[in-house]
Each structure stands twice: as C-alpha cells, then as structure tokens.
Amino acid sequence: MRAGPDHIREFPEATARFSLVMLPYLAYMARKRQKANDLGPAAPSGCKDDRMPLLPESLAMKDDVASWRRHLHAQPELLYDVHQTAEFVADKLRQFGCDEVVTGIGRTGVVGLIRGRPGSNGPTIGLRADMDALPVTETSGVAWASRTAGRMHACGHDGHTAMLLGAASQLAQSRNFNGSVAVIFQPAEEGGAGGREMVRDGMMERFGIASVYGMHNLPGLPVGDFAIRKGPIMAATDEFILTIRGRSGHAAMPHNTIDPIVAGSAIVAGLQMIAARNADPLESVVVSVTKFNAGFAHNVIPDEAKLAGTVRSLTTAMRDFAERRLGEIVRGIAAAHGAEVDVRYIRNYPVTFNHADETVVAADAAASVAGDDHVERETAPMMGGEDFSYMLESRPGAFIFIGNGDSSGLHSSSYDFNDDAIPHGVSYWVKLAESVLPL
C-alpha cells in the first residue's frame, strides 16, 4: 500500500539515498570525453572559457547569500521541526517585498508569492528548495559547523534554501516576468515526505501553480555545471519487512524444528532473482536485503527471523512488478520450508519523473547560465529517492542537478555545500522564471 504517515519511519534514506550518487557524473564525464574526441584536439590553454556570464546581481550578492547559508548550516533542524529555519526564510521573504508570505503549509513549509510586472496575466510557477538537515554528527571542521550534536546539513539543503532566497530577492526587485513565481521552502525531505504534505495541504491550488521545478547539488559535478534528463531521474524508494515464523528447538536436533534462519537465507538468495532473472535486463530495479535479525543463543534454533530491505525502480510498471514478485517469492520459499511469513511492503517516495517539455525549458535555462557544453541533458538516473516526486505527480515540472565540485559526498559527516555554486544556482532560478514567464 501507499506509504502513509505511520509508514514513513524517521530518516529511512539517511545513509542510502545517494549511495549511487557518482553514477550520473561518471556517465556525464564519459560523454564529455567522447564529445571531446569527436571534436578533435583541445583548444590551447589560453583560450576563453565557453561558460556564459553569470547575472551581475547574482555575483554581487554571493557573499550575502553565503552568509545566510552558513547561518542555516550552523543551526540545522530535522524533519518538520524546522521552526527557526522557516522563521528565517519567512522574515527574508517579507524583507524582499514578496506579495504574499504564507507559513505553516505542510505543517512547517513556507511559500512566498512574487507577482510580475503590473498587468501580468501569465501563469504561476513554483520553485522549490528543501530546508531540513540530517541526524549526522558533523566532522567538516568549518567555522560555521553545526552547533547541535548529532545534527548537520549533510545534503546541502542549507545551500538550496539560500540560493532560492537569493533568487527571490532578485525576482522581487526586478519583476521581469509575466505571471507569478511561488518560491517553495519545504520541510522533511529526509524521510518525512514533506513534499507530499505540502501538496496535500492544497499548496498547488491555493497559489494556482501550473508547473514546478526543483534543484539539488551534486558532488563530483563541476561547479557551474548542470545535469538533467527527461523521464525518470530518481527512483521510487520502497521498503519491505518480513517476519518468518518457524518452530524453535535444540540446535543439535534440527529435524524437530522449522528453522526460520534457513528459510530466511533462502529468501535472501531468492529475492536476487527479481533483478537477475525476472526483470527485463534493460529495466532498472534494485532489491537489497539490508537487515537480518534472528536468534539469541548458539545452541537454540529460534522461533522467528526478521528481514528488511529496500526496492528501487524507475517506472510504475517495474515498481508494481517488483512488489508482486517479492510477495510471491517470499511466500513460496517460506511454504517450502514449512514456515509462515508476514510480508509488509511499504511504498515510500515515488519515481521522480521529469516532464518532457519542462525538462527542455529547465535545460535551456541552465544553458543560458552555464553554456551548452556545461549542461548534461541525458544524465543517467539515480536509484536514490527524492520527495520532490510528489510535486511532479501533482504538476508538470523538472528536477535538475547543480555541480558542487570536488566535495565530500552527500550524507557524509565531512560534507559542506560549496558556496562557489551560489551565483550559478541563483542565476539559474532567475533565468528559469524569466524563461517560463516571458514578458
């Protein structure tokens, strides 16, 4: 069944959501090398960089935005308990002169509405950033490191929030667009489905949002580069919990028992058949058993064993197929061992699916900031998850990656958002709004 509040446990993605984070970048670099080979020898080192000039306003405000980012970094908050962050964001939006600033959407989310030039009659678009941190103890050693033990901005949401605030400041000042821009600051991306809660709270209807866009930093991708793709860009992130019940007894007399450990071991092996033999080799699916708990003594076969794990997929059809096959395999193997099994399958974040037209618009906006050679338009999808997917289920839109350079990986205790990415991100948001809502 679809995940509800009782089924989204605290931080289910905190250590695994970006375990494959380098795959898109490796594919990106391979394509760049191939392109370079096709074009012939590289230009002399003295040649001009092919990047586009950044917006002067974005460059001028870099230090201010970085100071906001570092303030947020030092005061990380988790899930929906982002009260100080939300207050900081709302205060900034009011200072910028947003036409509306609404708090408490999706519990602790904030939305600022910026209307375009007088007489504007265009649609409203949404630009989204996430605000929450992770339950990680920081080891970065930076001067602005977390002041709260066991909490840190290890995924760059401080940078996402600060860049969107920078863009809001510029858009509120210029009003150089026909329509309205809703800047969306979302809580609880890290396992709490805050995106879903904002949608359920009527955000799209309340502000008349016609399309919505998101952005996430990507370590390993050079600063100033962007990566995007049409269709699935991040996976659905489902979970399963299996309770296998046998009959306990003395380990020296296994013939008098039904061993749940043996049955569980067979299930672990059997589940690998979903990807290896059941699924089309050209379709992506990952089935990983990540927990196996059983037993309490070396000479006792226990009554039960508990297994848990995750299923990742990139299409609705594969998601449905994997859920069905998992149940069939688990129940069949348990029955073959004479055991009983309870299967709990939890659908968490859906596939993050970029809509075709909006992906082109987003990629073109990025190219206007970075130059065509610094936008990978066919990046490989990730098998990590992202709850911006709920907003993309509600409205057409696109999710893009922005380079964080040679930094520690996402969710690492030594990670820090790269402030050099700030003017690129701010410029992208402004260019995107002006492109979608031209005068």
In the 8-state DSSP scheme, what is residue 61?
Answer: T
How far apart (Å, rounded) are the C-alpha atoms in residues 31 and 412? 27
User: Which uninterrupted H or E stretch holds 215?
Assistant: strand 209-218
Write the CA distances from 79 to 131, 303, 315, integer angstroms. 9, 37, 27
Contacts of 371 (CB under 8 A, 6+ apart): 50, 51, 52
**Ligand-binding site membership of 216 (annotated):** yes
47 labelled binding-site residue: no
- The annotation status of 255 as a binding-site residue, yes or no, is no
Residue 191: beta bridge partners?
none
HEC-encoded secondary structure of 243-302: EEECECEECCCHHHCECHHHHHHHHHHHHHHHHHHHCCCCCCEEEEEEEEEECCCCCEEC
Can you spell out the DSSP letters for 100-139?
A: EEEEEETTTEEEEEEE-STT----EEEEEEE--BBS----
Alpha carbon 125 to its chain centroid, in Å, reads: 20
Paired with 144 in beta bridges are: none
Residue 65 to residue 425: CA distance in whole angstroms:
11
* 155 marked among binding-site residues: yes
Q: Judge whether 184 and 103 are in contact, CB under 8 Å.
A: no
Whether residue 157 is annotated as binding a ligand: the answer is yes
Q: What are phi and psi of 13, to 5 degrees?
A: -110, 10
Which residue ranges are tagged as binding site? Answer: 155, 157, 190, 216, 411
Which residue ranges are tagged as binding site for Mn(2+)? Answer: 155, 157, 190, 216, 411
